[in-house]
Amino acid sequence: MRRRPFAFDERPEGEKMAEEKHIGLAELKNHALGFDMAEMRDVHIVKEGQDDYLSKRYMGVWNVDRNELACLAPKSYMVIQHRYATEKLIEAITSLNIRTTAQLKKSRHGIQVDFDFPDSKMELKEVGEHFTAGIRVVSDYSQVAGLVISARVTRLACTNGMIVSDIVKSRRVKYTEELKVTVEALIDKIIKDIIASDDKLANMVSLCIGDSVEWQALKLLTKALFKKKKYVKEILSRLKCDDSGRVTRWDFYNAVTNYVSTAGSRLRPQIDAWLQNKAQKILKTSITQLTEEMVKLDEKKTG
């Protein structure tokens, strides 16, 4: 059933987003009242000189509030409203009785919510690190992925938020009238999987700590990985070499996640996700392999 659309965020894509602070679930629910709505609309194929005809395979996901097409989707696709998704996530977290804070970002057709669970702690004694569990939820009308829920941890030493989908796989959730039940079970499982994967995370951190690179080589590697001068400058400004003039891969990784965590509204969700993917690559890939990939890429460009 169509509901009256709410007005929200008329700024062009790429401008700053106001939501960057940590908020409670009640405040997040209030924000959800103003989220864009979408509906499925027929797609007609138009060809010059011929009558247009109705597409049998596709429909359009139409952002009602922006009055524009978000994407094309198969006829079987059912769009999940941002508000509905958020309310069911809040109900699920409330049922699980988990203390929670949230951080909200909006893009043109999507929302990204990072949920932190401060009481779900894990200690990696082998490497002297402490983390708390969390999740990232992405709902985007411009994609046909439904809800994407990813595992997330926060490093307590610096409050860096870290996506760890290489340790606990991200999950996609399709529309269902029992969405609250579905996401409740999924959130509970992701938290348990994060904590149960402490050995795997500790091993990855240990390997990162033991892997280092000379400062000048790191500068070249950062430029090759992140391209844009602004990102390179921000990441390098967070790094210092040791007495031998080297930087560990763990410090390199944390410089990236720290930039993402502290940039707040200056980063669109798409850029946030892109940087987090780069950070995950650093976490799981040795300096030697990263350098070899950089050299091969340079050879392709010059060849």
pLDDT tens sequence across 290-301: 999 888 877 676
Structure tokens at 41: 């609309």
pLDDT at residue 9 greater than cutoff 50: no
In a domain, 281, yes or no: yes
Q: Is the dihedral of CA 31, 13, 143, 58 positive or negative?
A: positive
The DSSP-derived string for 73-135 is EETT--PPPHHHHHHHHHHHHHHHT---EEEEEE-SSEEEEEEEEEEEEEEETTTTEEEEEEE
Q: How far apart are CA 204 and CA 71, in angstroms?
A: 38
**pLDDT tens, position by position, 126-169:** 888 999 999 999 999 999 999 999 999 999 988 888 999 988 99
Q: Are residues 31 and 140 in the same domain?
A: yes
Q: Which helix (H) or strand (E) holds 45?
A: strand 38-45
In a domain, 14, yes or no: no
Q: Are residues 116 and 226 in the same domain?
A: no
Structure tokens at 252: 């390199």
**pLDDT tens, position by position, 204-223:** 999 999 999 999 999 999 99
Please tell me the total count of domains within the chain.
Answer: 2
Q: Are residues 138 and 86 in the same domain?
A: yes
Q: Are residues 117 and 178 in the same domain?
A: yes
pLDDT at residue 119 greater than cutoff 90: yes
Q: Are residues 145 and 28 in the same domain?
A: yes
- What is the CB neighbour count within 10 angstroms for residue 236? 18
In a domain, 65, yes or no: no
**Domain interval for residue 295:** 210-302
Q: Are residues 140 and 172 in the same domain?
A: yes
Residue 112: its pLDDT value, please? Answer: 95
Residue 303: its pLDDT value, please? Answer: 60
- Identify the domain boundary among 195, 224, 245: 195
Mean pLDDT computed over every residue of the chain: 89
Q: Are residues 115 and 158 in the same domain?
A: yes
**pLDDT tens, position by position, 231-285:** 999 999 999 999 899 999 999 999 999 999 988 768 889 999 999 999 999 999 9
pLDDT at residue 85 greater than cutoff 50: yes
Q: Are residues 133 and 189 in the same domain?
A: yes
Structure tokens at 269: 């969700």
Q: Are residues 269 and 155 in the same domain?
A: no
- Identify the domain boundary among 195, 227, 247: 195
Q: Are residues 30 and 132 in the same domain?
A: yes
Backbone phi, then psi, for 124, in 5-degree steps? -100, 85
pLDDT at residue 13 greater than cutoff 80: no
Buried b (16+ CB within 10 A) or exposed e, 131-155: bbbbbbbbbbbbebebbbbbbbbbb
CA atoms within 13 A on the CB side of 53: 7
Q: Are residues 170 and 236 in the same domain?
A: no
Q: Are residues 87 and 184 in the same domain?
A: yes
